[in-house]
Copies of this chain bind each other. A is one copy, B any other.
Amino acid sequence: MNNTAVLRINCPDRKGLVAAVSSLLYNHGANITHADQHQDHQAGLFFMRVEWMLNGFDLDAFTEAFRSTAAELQMQWRLNVTAEAPRVAIFVSQHLHCLVDLLHRQQAGELHCSIPLIVSNHRNAEGLARFYGVEFRYISVEPGAKADAEEEQQRLLSERAVDLIILARYMQILSPAFVREYPARIINVHHSFLPAFVGARPYHAAFRRGVKLIGATSHYVTETLDEGPIIEQDVMRISHRDQVEDLIQKGRDIEKVVLSRAVKWHLEHRILCYGNKTVVFD
């Protein structure tokens, strides 16, 4: 992992935006390693992601100068330094395949983050958490007492200074109040090709409908269930030979891949949200 800065910009489209940003960077001596931009012509919007080396670069001076350019051009922007690994909490219920996958990827260096916390409403992830040296917190969600559970969850998230929450097959619905605290900072995996089969038991619904492909979707969580901005989707072929149990088992492989890609892209600051969509710069 290089020591770089990543700047993401989202603003009304107009002439000269790339010239303005790239010239400013050049004038500060930036060695750009990646740059990408996108225009949504219909919406009249411009998106940019640029990454450059920080060795010998005066980031404060650049930020100071950029601030006024950004104000002038009505830019919304975020500047991240890749040396600071984001802090991630994973929420999980009974099915552990996504958790196992994420923990190994983090350990193998695929995911640039630290994982200070695993939260679950079941106890079966505890051994795994201990093996990977991650704090495990069992928080049961009792009927009618979700507010209490969420209060405890939020206290922990705050104390552990968590930047990103991953719902790795966490089968509880978070309250709107909770979700509002973490805009574009909660990533969920839904086990269907959204918008098909919103809600509970999507593999059962897919089986009943007789589809020939099953899918999975990772998305940012918003207040409306399964309707947040989609980050990644994938599908897998099935046949009439597959029973519901086969769909559930085969589907896990796409859930893992689709969730881990979304997390990786988020951690590398590759995603820009606008409206209910994402731009993902690869």
A66 → chain B, closest Cβ, in Å? 14
Whether a CB of chain B sits under 8 angstroms from the CB of A196 is yes
Known: A23-B23, A110-B249. A209 touches B195 (CB 8 A): yes
Instruction: Decide yes or no whether A158 CB sits under 8 A from chain B.
Output: no
Q: Is the interface of A mostly helix, strand, loop or mixed?
A: mixed
A15 touches B26 (CB 8 A): yes
Give the residue name and chain of the B residue nearest to A236 (CB): B257
Q: Say if the beta carbon of A70 comes within 8 Å of chain B.
A: no
Could you tell me if A276 and B213 are in contact, using CB atoms closer than 8 angstroms? Answer: no
- What band does the interface of chain A fall in when counting residues whose beta carbon is under 8 Å from B? 35 or more
Q: A26-B15, A108-B97 are in contact. Are A235 and B213 (CB under 8 A)?
A: yes
Contact with B along A7-23 (1 / 0, CB 8 A): 00000000110110011
Decide yes or no: A26 and B37 within 8 Å by CB, A104-B100, A108-B96 being known contacts: no
Within 8 A of B (CB), among A47-73: none
Q: Which of B97, B193, B237 contacts A193 (CB 8 A)?
A: B193
Say yes or no: A240-B18 contact (C-beta < 8 A), given A195-B209, A257-B253. Answer: no
Q: Which residues of B contact A104 (CB under 8 A)?
A: 96-97, 100
Q: Could you tell me if B210 and A277 are in contact, using CB atoms closer than 8 angstroms? A: yes
Interface, chain A (partner B; CB < 8 A) = 15-16, 18-19, 22-23, 25-26, 29-42, 96-97, 100, 104, 108, 110, 127, 131, 193-197, 209-213, 215, 229-235, 237, 239-241, 243, 249, 253, 257, 275-280, 282
13 contacts between A and B (CB under 8 A): A15-B31, A16-B26, A19-B26, A22-B22, A40-B240, A96-B108, A97-B108, A100-B104, A131-B131, A193-B193, A193-B215, A210-B276, A212-B230
